[in-house]
Amino acid sequence: MKTARANAAALAVVAALLWAGAASLRAGPYSPAGGQPGSTAISRTSPEIGGWATGVAQLVRGPAQIDEPDYGYANHGTGADALGPAGTNVFGTVSLGDGGSITLTFAEPIRNGEGWDFAVFENGFLQFGTTYFCELAFVEVSSNGVDFFRFPSVSLTQTGRQIDSFEGMDPTNIHNLAGRDPLGWGTPFDLSDLAEVAAAHPTTLNLNAITHVRIIDVVGSIDPAYASYDSLGNIINDPWPTPFGTGGFDLDAVAVRYREPVAASLYDQWRASWWDEEELTDASVSGDHADPDADGLPNLLEYALGGSPLDPASAPRPQPGLGSAVLEGQTRSVLTLGFSRVADPELIYRVEAANELAGSPIWTTIFTSTGAQNIAGAVTVHDTVALGATPRRFLRLRVERP
């Protein structure tokens, strides 16, 4: 009996020590996972969310397992799976693979406000009631789509042993790395964390005009040959390897809290002067390619040439003609194309030339006007090939906008 009691007491002590050790592993200094008391994670249904990512500028898949090239690349989902609201389907994501990345754009730039400014949603989950399966990623932002700046991050997860492929982690040891919160909960990011960086790069980083957010998978290997590091120089340990099509960070969505309204373009102001709110949402009436007055000129051309989209008699068509130009030191007769231009720097006017219309003609740009070059008034463009130099010659006007 004494021995039994002694053994029971010893087991109780061991159990207590084990529990204390486990508790300490779940007691990092950072926010608990989404859904837990005291968590700072953002619910996908939060009323503070004002918008979501609307476009994909770039998707670069990483390998399924970075040290085994023969395994191929992650392939689950598409960039479109990262657009719009976060969902509840663990498979409604795009997988990046080891070190892969995706760059998202937004209808309106993100601006720096009070507290969190945007949140990144992954598809992690609670494991065994105590830890979470987390696949982590760095987060970077840009105000021009070219220069990107990374959020400072911290990982206090142990690095003495590799976290296995399906092993759980403690999110309270992780700060400013996307993916530390489970499905339906977004990891928040505060642009104020980049205030010093913005001060050092005033011409390339505007915290009130973030146009791009880039998510870059953390390679969770603790092997220095492949490891990713936090801002303190710590190796970031997360479940690895994950040699599947769904390997690496799985992006569900990016939510925006504060948006910077974009001033209506000159073209949109023009559209609003012709159609009411309901008609402006009908592409068959007010869209770029619509032709409501049936004069053969779509709305964008009507605007670019100074016409009326509702009056066929005002159709300001480009006018072909003949002129002369100095070519190779001699004055030669050439085709001309005249048209009226509006002062909108966003438009791109192009005059193109081809020698044939049959089959698949090759059009060559002979004139371009955009930005400050777009001065209102008449323009006449002269061809760069003399009449008679080719059996046939054709000119056309193209107008584009971003």
**Rounded Cα gap, residues 354 and 317, in angstroms:** 19
Question: Is residue 277 located within the same domain as residue 187?
Answer: no
**Rounded Cα gap, residues 166 and 164, in angstroms:** 6
Question: Is residue 59 located within the same domain as residue 90?
Answer: yes
* pLDDT tens-place string over residues 4-59: 333 333 323 322 223 333 333 447 999 999 999 999 999 999 999 999 999 999 99
> Contacts by 274-277 with C-beta closer than 8 Å and gap 24+?
274/308, 274/309, 274/310
**Rounded Cα gap, residues 178 and 35, in angstroms:** 16
More confident residue, 378 or 27: 378
* pLDDT tens-place string over residues 147-205: 999 999 999 999 999 999 999 999 999 999 999 999 999 999 999 999 999 999 999 99
282 C-beta neighbours (distance < 10 Å), count: 12
Determine if residue 296 is left, alpha or beta; phi over 0 gives left, psi from -120 to 50 gives alpha, anything else beta: left
Q: Is 250:123 a contact under the CB 8 Å cutoff?
A: yes
Question: Is residue 141 located within the same domain as residue 177?
Answer: yes
* pLDDT tens-place string over residues 52-87: 999 999 999 999 999 999 999 999 999 999 999 999
Q: Is 104:213 a contact under the CB 8 Å cutoff?
A: yes
Taking the whole predicted model, whether its pTM rises above 0.95 is answered as no
Q: Return the pLDDT at 11.
A: 29
Domain ranges, residue 288: 266-314
**Rounded Cα gap, residues 327 and 372, in angstroms:** 27
Residue 23 lies in a domain: no
DSSP-assigned letter for residue 169:
B
Phi/psi at 81 (5° precision): -70, -15
Closest CA relative to residue 178, chosen from 125, 140, 224, 235: 140
Half-sphere exposure of 11 (CA within 13 A, CB side): 6
Residue 135 lies in a domain: yes
Phi/psi at 121 (5° precision): -110, 130
Question: Is residue 307 located within the same domain as residue 326?
Answer: no
Question: Is residue 207 located within the same domain as residue 272?
Answer: no
For residue 101, the SS3 value is strand
174 C-beta neighbours (distance < 10 Å), count: 28
Question: Is residue 63 located within the same domain as residue 89?
Answer: yes
Phi/psi at 138 (5° precision): -75, 155
**Rounded Cα gap, residues 335 and 224, in angstroms:** 66
In sign, the C-alpha dihedral spanning 165, 167, 168, 169 is: negative
**pLDDT over 90, % of the chain:** 88
Question: Is residue 57 located within the same domain as residue 146?
Answer: yes
